[in-house]
Homo-oligomer: A and B are copies of this chain.
């Protein structure tokens, strides 16, 4: 295999990873039951707490982001529990299905893909069922490039009913500021390969004191994703099961990078660069999938102009310009391409992407628009 040339990755995860973070993966293998690992673990956990803006617990699963979200569901939902799940894309639908797989009842608050449910809609659902255990809110729908604009208000509504609030911020935390203590998020999940800009392989999950208390009394059916168990082991600098050590090293280094930049600066950079992406691609006459007011800052979903073949477009972009973007997801395969604006994305990479998209469309269409 000759995969040796690094491309410019403008995917909705994984993202480009710095040389420094890549290099961290080759640090020596150590005993995950020894003192060196303990030091690494405890340091990493503190850095992760800064990212989540929490004084509470953060646990680390060796899994993809989906694993972190499955953990959220299986830890909270018991047979017969009701959960409210806004559904406005593939990932939020998956979340509702996961609630059902765990034996729960999912009350879906639906919106057309490309929009999000309104806060009023969500409010009506919350006032609706007599009792519900949790609100499972996908913050950023990677499949449609839409982001919920009212996470804080949603938390407040759910908390008034004493429900747990879970925020799937897999593709957004670090590109957005989500102060989990400040907003009252009981569980927030993200993954290493998104705005943190580490390689894939690790899910990070914040857990409120209130939720942890519940979990210690009511153990879940899953062992691999048992949050209270991770918390217990974490207090002595360990994970219950063998961690994906190289990803651990990389995550530690990537969080150093993030904190050196500063969380606020990283968030601002995502805001500025995604605005530049929307502006630049818009100037080419391209239409976006998301309604303007709910556009995501980390995933830009672009409708293909008539006559542009997905495979041809993305192949040209990759082979002639060395730029990777993603295709559409599920029912939108072939209808859109998705540009990630995550992690290390810079003004230069935004400009390069816009330029390459323009030239590629021209070469396919003869004109750019």
Q: Which residues of A contact B (CB under 8 A)?
A: 1, 3-7, 9, 11, 13-17, 22-23, 25-34, 36, 39-40, 43, 62-67, 70, 94, 97-98, 101-103, 191, 193, 199-202, 221-225, 240-247, 250, 318, 324, 326-327
- Selected contact of A1 from candidates B29, B39, B70, B200, CB within 8 Å: B39
| A259 nearest CB across to chain B (Å) | 16
- Verify B70–A199 contact, CB threshold 8 A: no
- Verify B29–A199 contact, CB threshold 8 A: yes
- Verify A242–B64 contact, CB threshold 8 A: yes
Per the bound structure, the CA–CA distance linking A6 and B3 in Å amounts to 28
- Verify A28–B3 contact, CB threshold 8 A: yes
With A223-B94, A242-B193 as known contacts, state yes or no: A25 contacts B25, CB within 8 Å: yes
Contacts of A103 in B (CB 8 A): 221
Contacts of A22 in B (CB 8 A): 25-26
Contacts of A3 in B (CB 8 A): 27-28, 30, 36, 40
Per the bound structure, the CA–CA distance linking A291 and B325 in Å amounts to 58
Chain A interface, DSSP helix/strand/loop, else mixed = loop
- Verify B29–A191 contact, CB threshold 8 A: no
With A70-B224, A102-B221, A242-B191 as known contacts, state yes or no: A62 contacts B201, CB within 8 Å: yes
With A64-B242, A242-B193, A247-B246 as known contacts, state yes or no: A324 contacts B201, CB within 8 Å: no
Contacts of A31 in B (CB 8 A): 9, 11, 14, 324, 326
Contacts of A33 in B (CB 8 A): 326-327
- Selected contact of A200 from candidates B36, B39, B102, B245, CB within 8 Å: B245
| A213 nearest CB across to chain B (Å) | 21
With A33-B327, A62-B201, A326-B31 as known contacts, state yes or no: A13 contacts B242, CB within 8 Å: yes
Please give me the residue from chain B that is nearest to A27 by CB atom.
Answer: B3
Per the bound structure, the CA–CA distance linking A202 and B64 in Å amounts to 11
With A29-B15, A223-B94, A246-B25 as known contacts, state yes or no: A63 contacts B66, CB within 8 Å: no
Contacts of A40 in B (CB 8 A): 1, 3
Per the bound structure, the CA–CA distance linking A223 and B200 in Å amounts to 18
Please give me the residue from chain B that is nearest to A202 by CB atom.
Answer: B244
With A29-B15, A64-B62, A223-B66 as known contacts, state yes or no: A244 contacts B244, CB within 8 Å: yes
| A333 nearest CB across to chain B (Å) | 10
5 contacts between A and B (CB under 8 A): A33-B327, A62-B200, A63-B63, A64-B224, A66-B242
Contacts of A30 in B (CB 8 A): 3, 7, 324
For the complex of A and B, the 7 pairs showing the least CB-CB separation, nearest first, are A201-B244, A64-B241, A66-B241, A64-B242, A6-B28, A70-B224, A200-B242
Per the bound structure, the CA–CA distance linking A336 and B332 in Å amounts to 58
With A28-B4, A103-B221, A223-B94 as known contacts, state yes or no: A199 contacts B64, CB within 8 Å: no
- Verify A9–B25 contact, CB threshold 8 A: no
- Verify B34–A324 contact, CB threshold 8 A: yes
Per the bound structure, the CA–CA distance linking A34 and B9 in Å amounts to 12
Per the bound structure, the CA–CA distance linking A369 and B98 in Å amounts to 58
